Structure 1
Amino acid sequence: MRWTVLDSPIGEFSVGTDGTHVCRARLGRVEDATQEPGDDAARQAIAELRAYFAGELTDFAVPLKAPGGSEFERGVWREMSTIPYGETLTYGEVARRLGDRGAARAVGMACNRNPIPVLVPCHRIVGAGGKLVGFGGGLDRKVKLLELEAGVALRHAWS
């Protein structure tokens, strides 16, 4: 896996690729990350992330391939990828969509294990009543991501 690091409004953000797909992302710098993308997937991911953080991109197109995860976790990751830009769902709502009303905590654990944060938008899942809880990168980063998306979504709705 090759890592590329991007300076972003939420701090350094590292993207790991296998040459054709983004397979991992990390908030912060990964030790061997470079600032020069080494393959097409990294170039596309960095360009899309720059556009996303600039408020110019609402849907990522870069190919993703999330490694590992249980069947349930992969289901949560697929479901979180369907949450529209600028919107949120609660852990309980995701659990209900997956057919297990009592699995809200398990949804939270799957979010925590998301190998490709931001690109697979675990930040769009919130606690009951919209409470901001649970983000591996810290709630301050979750707030910045949700504020970015809300602001862009409002500008699009009003234009």
Structure 2
Amino acid sequence: MTGDRLTALFSTPEDAAVLARLHRRLEADADREGLVDVAYTTVDSPLGPLLLAATPRGLARVAYAAEDHDRVLDTLGHRLGPRVLRAPRRLDDAARELDEYFARRRRTFDLPLDLSLSKGFRQLVQQHLPEIGYGETRSYRQVAELVGNPGAVRAVGTACATNPLPVVVPCHRVLRADGTLGGYIGGPDAKAALLALEAD
């Protein structure tokens, strides 16, 4: 069967509904049998579409569109397990809390997190970032002091730049000593927008 004929076969609204129903059944069956290593979905946000991915332990990844969602999913499949499935229901809480955050109705996240994509000092820094309160900022040096290693300013910068859970683990609240933004996985515009959201 040619690609055009296959596309035509599933192009009616009825067929799309059947496919959606089959996917929901696959999602439920795989979840019940413990066959999903990584569940994912995409959600709309004021910063563009965000990819959310979770393991059974918790939310493991938030990715901006600029990171290339397909590439991120491929990496997750190699690092966390090959059984990756679009399963929006598993991420309902994360999607809801992000919506509340962007609507200024939430200041902290209450989600279980899986920090296994980071190791060692990077993970230590990322564990401490939520201690920086909503609407507050710290310098890379202050974060280095917070984690008990005042000389590790560059390493703190690397930990923030490689944070797999931007927005939820608030690396956007870490600035250069002179108050300028510094790097950010979502780009400087996204970092500025998050800081502006929290400043109002």
Shorter-normalised TM range = 0.7 to 0.9
* 1:25-40 → structure 2 map (5 Å cutoff): 25-28=62-65, 30-31=69-70, 37-39=88-90
* 1:27-66 → structure 2 map (5 Å cutoff): 27-28=64-65, 30-31=69-70, 37-39=88-90, 42-66=91-115
Encode CA deviations 1:90-147: one digit per residue, 9 max, x unaligned: 0010111222222111100011111111111110111002211110110000000000
Please tell me whether the aligned partners of residues 2 and 38 of structure 1 are also in contact (alpha carbons under 8 angstroms): no
Count the aligned residue pairs. 148
> Where does residue 74 of structure 1 map in the other structure?
123
Please tell me whether the aligned partners of residues 57 and 114 of structure 2 are also in contact (alpha carbons under 8 angstroms): no
* 1:10-159 → structure 2 map (5 Å cutoff): 10-19=47-56, 21-28=58-65, 30-31=69-70, 37-39=88-90, 42-151=91-200
Q: How many Å separate the matches in 1 of 2:183 and 2:195?
A: 13
Q: How many Å separate the matches in 2 of 1:130 and 1:114?
A: 20
Q: TM-score, normalised by structure 1?
A: 0.86
Q: Percent identity?
A: 39
Any stretches of 5+ residues in structure 1 without a counterpart? 152-159
Q: TM-score, normalised by structure 2?
A: 0.69
* CA RMSD, Structure 1 to Structure 2 (Å): 1.7
Encode CA deviations 1:23-67: one digit per residue, 9 max, x unaligned: 111012623785x7131xx10000000010111111111111111
Please tell me whether the aligned partners of residues 51 and 69 of structure 2 are also in contact (alpha carbons under 8 angstroms): yes
**Residue type of the alignment partner of 1:30:** H
**Residue type of the alignment partner of 1:37:** P
**Which of these two proteins has the greater Rg computed from alpha carbons?**
2
**Residue type of the alignment partner of 1:24:** R
Tell me: higher relative CO, structure 1 or 2? Use CA pairs within 8 A at least 6 residues apart: 1
